[in-house]
Structure formats: C-alpha cells, structure tokens
C-alpha cells in the first residue's frame, strides 16, 4: 500500500479549506483517509496552516510521500517553529546578566 500525505478539500464554493491527511494513494482526493495531521486555509493571510510535525515525521519515516503543496507547508511550519527556540534561550541568558547589575 502506497501512502501519501496530501490535502483534502472542504469548505464551500469559493471558500476552500483543506485538511492535511495521510491516505492511501489509490483513494480519491476527498475519500477515505488514515489520519488527519493538520489544516490549511489558503484564504487566511500570514500563518495559515497548522501541522502535527511529530506525526508527519512518523509517517515520512514509514515511507509516506508528501505532495508538493504539503511539502511546502511542512517547510514553512518548520521555519516558524525553529526560530522561536533560539530566541527563548538568548533571553534566558540575558536575564541573569541584567539581574547581576
């Protein structure tokens, strides 16, 4: 069974809304799926997707292939998630120095 990570369209006419799902590649776009691992709202400005990155890593390690759009969403979510951690450590190291003065 070939598994893919792709978008499932929901919403109404002219108001698309997508769920990121893990599905058998033979099933239809809006058909059966194995797991919902995120959402994507293309009409929303700014950060318009939420993904469970740990579950995505799990499925990719099992051989699931993300679609081009999902691959782009994963890259954007990783970029948003990773810069916040170094900022927190730099403010934590600056706080003791300010307290010592």
Percent helix, strand and coil across the chain, each to the nearest 5: 40, 30, 30
Closest of 22, 15, 11 to residue 67, by C-alpha: 22
Q: What is the mean pLDDT of residues 40-63?
A: 91
Per-residue pLDDT tens digits for 7-20: 999 999 999 999 99
Report the pLDDT value the prediction gives residue 28, as an integer from 0 to 100: 84
- pLDDT-based confidence at 31, cuts 50/70/90? confident
Domains and CATH numbers, the chain: 3-83 (3.30.1320.10)
- Alpha-carbon distance of 75 to 36, in angstroms, equals 18
Instruction: Read off the pLDDT of residues 71-97 as tens digits, 9 standing for 90 and up.
Output: 999 999 988 877 755 555 555 555 555
Confidence class of residue 39 from pLDDT cuts 50, 70 and 90?
A: very high
pTM of the model: 0.74
């Amino acid at each position: 069974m070939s598994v893919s990570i792709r978008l499932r369209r929901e919403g109404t006419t002219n108001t698309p809304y997508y769920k990121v799902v893990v599905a058998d590649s033979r099933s239809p776009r809006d058909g059966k799926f194995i797991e919902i691992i995120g959402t994507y709202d293309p009409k929303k400005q700014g950060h318009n997707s939420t993904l469970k990155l740990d579950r995505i890593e799990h499925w990719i390690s099992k051989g699931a292939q993300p679609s081009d759009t999902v691959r782009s969403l994963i890259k954007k979510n990783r970029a948003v998630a990773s810069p916040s951690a170094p900022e927190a450590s730099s403010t934590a190291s600056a706080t003791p120095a300010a307290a010592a003065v």
